[in-house]
Structure 1
Amino acid sequence: MKFAIVFAALLAAALAAPVDDPKNAQILRYESDNIGTDGYNFAFETSDGTSRQEQAQLKNVGTENEALAVRGTISWVAADGQQYTLNFVADENGFQPEGAHLPRA
């Protein structure tokens, strides 16, 4: 549950970053592969520099330690014009974010 709250807050912050007029951003790429209860893969990229990709896999299937392990990356261009990237893992050990600031080309 903590993962969902933290993740939603980070995603909202990433998508709320004002760059030009994000209302006019176009979806450049969208991929989704929901393989049921065993996991999923999805990715998207928009014209305002926002992108996200995420993969999930069910670990320890059928045991009391069964857990969904999620790995992903979110990138966006912030109001300061810089690109930021958040890599994360969310699994039985909790939400583990790692961020980076990348100079924009």
Structure 2
Amino acid sequence: MNSLLVSFIGLLCVAAVLSAPAENEPVPIVAQESDIQPDGTFKWSFETGDGVKVEQTGQPKQIDQETAVVLQGSASWTDNEGNPHQLTYVADENGYQPQSADIPVAPEVPPAIARALEYNAAHPEQDGEPQSQ
């Protein structure tokens, strides 16, 4: 009985593997470029056969007591539904700053809450004090 059960489960596994969609073919790289300079600046890019394009540049920048690499880049692609997407970004002393129509935008802060936040910022000495009744 156990061998029959094991055989049946084995056949189910084989059927599941055979009925699964075939793996996607590898996507070819149709263009690629890379340039690294002795001073630390660089640029690279690539494009794939399915239309993905990615590029990035970077250069060292003195920020306070450290040397950091400042980056700029972009990526574009088309999703499975045929919708185009594009992303650009900068990464520097102000952090990662992406820009894209695909990035959700927070709703505007209601005026009453904005006034309350301004009041709190202008009166930090009142933070944490118990209110008198």
* TM-score interval (norm. to shorter): 0.5 to 0.7
Unmatched 5+ stretches in structure 1? 1-20
Asked whether 1:72 is paired with 2:98, we answer no
Moved over 4 A (4+): none
By percentage of residues, which structure has more strand?
A: 1
For 1:93 and 1:54, the matched residues in 2 are separated by: 18
Post-superposition shift, 1:83?
1.1
Give 1:70's aligned amino acid. Answer: L
Q: How many residues align?
A: 80
CA distance in 2, matches of 1:74, 1:94: 18
More helix by share: 2
Structure-2 separation of matches of 1:71 and 1:25: 25
CA-to-partner distance for each residue in 1:21-80, whole Å, 9 max, x for gaps? Answer: 86342211100012256121000001101010100000128x614221100001111122
Cross-structure match for 2:94: 93
* CA deviation after TM superposition for structure 1 residue 92, in Å: 1.0
Aligned partners of 2:99 and 2:86: how far apart in 1?
A: 8
In the alignment, structure 2 segments of 5+ residues that lack a partner are 1-22, 103-133
Aligned to 2:25, the other structure's residue is in SS state helix
Tell whether the 8 Å contact from 1:68 to 1:92 is kept in structure 2 after alignment. Answer: no
Give 1:14's aligned residue.
Answer: none
Alignment RMSD: 2.2
TM-score by length of 2: 0.53
The residue type equivalent to 1:99 in the other structure is S
CA distance, structure 1, for counterparts of residue 88 and residue 27 of structure 2: 23
